Amino acid sequence: MAVGILTACTPASSEEGPKRYAASYLDVFDTRTEIVGYADAEESFLQEADRIKEQLAYYHKLYDIYHSYEGINNLKTINDNAGIVPVKVDAEIIALMKLSREMYDLTDGKVNIAMGSVLSIWHDYRERGADDPELASLPPMERLQEAAKHTDIDQIIIDEEASTVYLADPQMSLDVGGIGKGYAVQKAAEYAREQGAERLLISVGGNVAAIGEKDIDTPWKIGITDPDMQSVGNYAETVYVEDRCIVTSGNYQRYYEVDGVRYCHIIDPDTLMPADHFTSVTIIAEDSGVADALSTAVYTLSLEDGLAFVNGLDDVEAMWITEDGEIFYSDGFRENYLQEDS
């Protein structure tokens, strides 16, 4: 995980009032999910956590591009029908498509869910390279450039009235890896609020949503992993948040090496190559889906361009960690999310 929840994971010792509990799951979005919150009894907390986990599991199925599920038309269904027929889908797929288009426009194409044809090539080479490092290689640029001809986001045809999505280019495919998990965390947090949650933390991999405060007048304390020392308890920075979302993108979890050079999973649409400016970029914003998209986009930008971009956004802050361990912050990061003893 790219972040750590710096709070006790066992019930608080006080015998009066709600106690703090935590639940962990390993079967959502192929990563570790943690839910930390308060309840009068462990049973009621675990019931609440299970309901939130089921929400996340449903979004996982909707946005899965590798597997089919009985009774669900998901992104794989849309990809399988590219150039053939519009696919009737859940409203949450339509909503994600619309947010993705907004993020495409905001980031000048740095977040493009129509990049599946390119990303699938990198995925296959990364998987093979990770399984057999001696045979690790880079995909031919000619093949990437040919695939990139089929990444025009305008070829995603959305019919909201019919609730359908159609890929007009038969060689196009969707991949929402740069936004889907964050969007799901955001929707799970909204669900939790609707169910009455006032103090809750949802963490899915590098995506964290904090609802309310940890305790009265005490924000949630979140550790951002040091990419050079990823063991538990090694943090590059500690942030203090309430009613905010934190998303980190980095090169130290999903990658492979070719001739001693690390190639991560975040592909720059302009170069068709993995971005290599930083070891990690962390975004703090109100919305987890937006934060997820922005962390992906900013990771592909130079520090100068990324600073200018983030500082021009309202209520969004960022932190960069370079290959040599140097840390940079957007204009309001320190003031809003750091404390003197952090």
Band of pLDDT at residue 341, cut at 50, 70 and 90: low
What is the structure's pLDDT at 1?
A: 42
Give the model confidence (pLDDT) of 256-269 as tens digits: 999 999 999 999 99
Give the model confidence (pLDDT) of 200-223 as tens digits: 999 998 799 999 999 888 999 999
Residues 310 and 265 sit within 8 Å (Cβ to Cβ): no
Residue 167 has pLDDT above 50, yes or no: yes
Residue 229 has pLDDT above 70, yes or no: no
Compute the distance between CA of residue 254 and CA of residue 164 in angstroms, rounded to an integer: 32
Q: Could you tell me which residues come within 8 angstroms of residue 104 by beta carbon, excluding any fewer than 6 positions away?
A: 111, 112, 113, 153
Residue 89 has pLDDT above 70, yes or no: yes
Band of pLDDT at residue 233, cut at 50, 70 and 90: low
Six token digits for residue 66 = 């590798």
Band of pLDDT at residue 7, cut at 50, 70 and 90: very low
- What the chain holds in terms of domains, given with CATH numbers, is 3-62+181-337 (3.10.520.10), 75-94+111-167 (no CATH)
How far does Cα 258 stand from its chain's mean position?
A: 26
**120-134: average pLDDT:** 95
Give the model confidence (pLDDT) of 235-263 as tens digits: 899 999 999 999 999 887 788 999 999 99
Dihedral angle sign, alpha carbons of residues 295, 296, 297, 298: positive
Compute the distance between CA of residue 29 and CA of residue 37 in angstroms, rounded to an integer: 21
What is the structure's pLDDT at 17?
A: 72
**Strands laid side by side in the 3-5 sheet:** 3-5, 220-225, 235-241
Give the model confidence (pLDDT) of 39-85 as tens digits: 889 999 999 999 999 999 999 999 999 999 999 999 999 999 999 99
Residue 11 has pLDDT above 60, yes or no: no
Q: Could you tell me which residues come within 8 angstroms of residue 237 by beta carbon, excluding any fewer than 6 positions away?
A: 223, 224, 282, 319, 327, 338, 342
Lowest mean pLDDT among 27-31, 32-36, 153-157, 275-279: 27-31
